[in-house]
Amino acid sequence: MATHPASSGRVLVTTPIYYVNDRPHLGHAYTTVAADFMARAHRLLGREVFFLTGTDEHGERIAETARARGLAPIEHCDEVVTGFQDAWKALNINYDRFIRTTEDAHVKGVEKLLKLLHEATGPDGRPVIYEGEYRGLYCTGCEKFLSGRDIEDDRCPLHPTQAPQEITERNYFFRLSAFLEQLKAKIENDDIRIRPEGRKREVLGLFAQGLDDFSISREKVEWGIPLPFDRSQTAYVWVDALSNYITGIGFGDRPDEYAKWWNDGKVLHLMAKDILKFHAIFWPAMLMAVGERPPDEMFIHGYLTLVDQKMSKSLGNVIKPDAWVDDFGVDGARYLLTTIFRFGQDGEIREAMLREKYNADLANDFGNLISRASKMVLAHFDGYIPEADYSGPEEQVLKTAMATAEQKFSEAIDDVDPNHAVEAALSIARVANRYFDHAAPWKLAKEKQMDKLAVVLGVTIEAVFSCAVHLSPVLPNKVPEIMQTLGFTDAEIDARLNKGRSIAAPAGRQIAKSPPFFPRTDKRKGKVGPEKKEKPPTGLGQKIHPPL
Ligand code: MSP
């Protein structure tokens, strides 16, 4: 039976913790903005939310990057982590906790988990952890051993520039085999809900292919957390990293906080498909082994691509989030990241498409509605917003459309479907624009039909308000500004957007004059993406964003 404690009104939203061997690029921003969107949307719906993100700082690859830069690993991490924190600040990412795997609280939590694993026995009565020898090809890019299925042309397809290394070593293993049956059932019946459906099928396909026990430690990797039961080994970086989802909410040091979010909330992990197996199989199995609840839901989105290749440092084809922020503004960049591609599918970035979408949705549909309606309120009612009177048939239609859109918005959020949520919110502006055009308030003004004019402007402003409120998770800078212009106080704005409380309608408040909220974008300011889909003559990434 699927249990979804979202009904308890509490949600833990997570992003992967990003490796600090890379500077943040749009691919990282894609997940982080989506998670921030989900967190804000749940808050808007009145739910209690904890939004966790952070950085993955241990492992051979990071130690190597630091060595190559002539720095101690922690010096390297301390420097690169600020790049992520600054990027998230620039995108107005409102996380509750930024966890670094080098922090004490995390290390303590991982030690606790490792001890519990070491003491645990599986459903078959055998110890969950055992010692063994590993021989195989290792990809430092993925920080994992490659199976035959993972290899194409002797290389890892995700890191084709680095040859996999042949490794033999003594490791501690996790007896995954003991949990496969239970785990598969939980995935099949959506106890652990994996979406989109195609990804659930992909995971179930992995069971059919066969899954091996995996090692939880490394013998020769020094930059990591020593195993509490054998200090000559360090925790495998994926065990270290996945644990952040519980150590970040107090597993090691604050049991009440931990229980509040992990046991009494709905846990939603967001990520791209590259790390699905770790999240959908290894992670729930580890939790089950120590008697903890597996996560409720994972949503797996696609890759941002350039010239059909995943944007990534190893391929050198990255675009920095700042390029989009400089060009489209913070909210414009967030809007495009959230809406431009179907969440769950890959998306090829093209400059013209970005500009068209920004202009059509923000400058035209939403921006024009605000400016047309508010200008008329300023011109004819001294800025005072008239009462919204829905007794007429046309106004009824608008009211029904608003109610339907609001309903669709909540359903889309529960489905982890940012595209449809934003689409629902924006549909309010579209319907309101049609209503406005049809009602022709400029004619009513000329004919001095002030009562009718008041009705048209009253309901239109209420539609602006509803549209703005529902767009706030994607436009967290502009929507509060819009609400201020409509006469709402900061306390009201905070109550409505961040605490899900209802507040008094716009009627009776005085609108302030404002410059356009979403000026059209036509001119190229920076490099937001290729104009056309063709391979640039020189390495695109090298020009846009020099590697570390
Ligand atoms: N450190 C691990 C994750 C541990 S989570 C317990 C890791 N780090 S990463 O820096 O490589 O981040 C991978 C994640 O970054 C992807 O799953 C995705 O969320 C995001 N993306 C990185 N490049 C991306 C694209 N080109 N497109 C979409 N998302 C991308 O794996």
pTM of the model as a whole: 0.93
Give residue 144's pLDDT: 82
> 377 CB under 6 A from ligand 1?
no
> 31 CB under 6 A from ligand 1?
yes
Integer-rounded Cα radius of gyration of the chain = 26
Give residue 312's pLDDT: 87
> 28 CB under 6 A from ligand 1?
yes
**272: CA distance to ligand 1 center in Å?**
6
**397: CA distance to ligand 1 center in Å?**
44
Angle between helices 26-44 and 393-414 (to 10 degrees): 120
Residues with Cβ within 8 Å of 487's Cβ and at least 6 positions away in sequence, in order, are 385, 506, 509, 510, 511, 512
Q: What is the largest CA-CA distance in the chain?
A: 88
CA 103: distance to chain centroid?
Answer: 23
Torsions phi, psi of 384, nearest 5? -80, 125
**501: CA distance to ligand 1 center in Å?**
34
Residues with Cβ within 8 Å of 449's Cβ and at least 6 positions away in sequence, in order, are none
**347: CA distance to ligand 1 center in Å?**
15
Residue nearest to atom 27 of ligand 1 (CA): 303
Residue 505 DSSP class: -
Ligand 1 atom closest to 283 (CA)? 6
Residue nearest to atom 18 of ligand 1 (CA): 272
**325: CA distance to ligand 1 center in Å?**
21
Give me the residues of the chain with pLDDT under 70, please.
1-8, 524-526, 531-548
Ligand 1 atom closest to 304 (CA)? 27
Give residue 154's pLDDT: 86
Q: How far apart are CA 296 and CA 241, in angstroms?
A: 19
Give residue 533's pLDDT: 59
Question: Which residues are identified as catalytic?
Answer: 25, 28, 139, 142, 156, 159, 310, 313
Residue nearest to atom 23 of ligand 1 (CA): 27
> 251 CB under 6 A from ligand 1?
no
**348: CA distance to ligand 1 center in Å?**
17
Percent of the chain clearing pLDDT 70 (strictly above): 95
Residue nearest to atom 28 of ligand 1 (CA): 303
CB of 533 within 8 A of CB of 350? yes
Residue nearest to atom 2 of ligand 1 (CA): 18
Q: How far apart are CA 216 and CA 1, in angstroms?
A: 31
Structure tokens at 528: 């937001």
Give residue 235's pLDDT: 98
CA 217: distance to chain centroid?
Answer: 29
Residue nearest to atom 15 of ligand 1 (CA): 28
> 541 CB under 6 A from ligand 1?
no
Give residue 529's pLDDT: 78
Give residue 149's pLDDT: 75
Q: How far apart are CA 227 and CA 115, in angstroms?
A: 8
**75: CA distance to ligand 1 center in Å?**
22
> 27 CB under 6 A from ligand 1?
yes
pLDDT tens for 176-210 read 999 999 999 999 999 999 999 999 999 999 999 99
Residue nearest to atom 16 of ligand 1 (CA): 272
Q: How far apart are CA 500 and CA 320, in angstroms?
A: 33
Length of the chain: 548
Ligand 1 atom closest to 241 (CA)? 6
Give residue 495's pLDDT: 98
> 275 CB under 6 A from ligand 1?
yes
Q: How far apart are CA 316 and CA 330, in angstroms?
A: 25
pLDDT tens for 430-487 read 999 999 999 999 999 999 999 999 999 999 999 999 999 999 999 999 999 999 999 9
CA proximity to 101, closest of 89, 111, 91, 93 = 111
Give residue 535's pLDDT: 52
Ligand 1 atom closest to 16 (CA)? 5
Give residue 526's pLDDT: 61
- 10 Å CB burial of residue 71 (0-12, 13-18, 19+) is middle
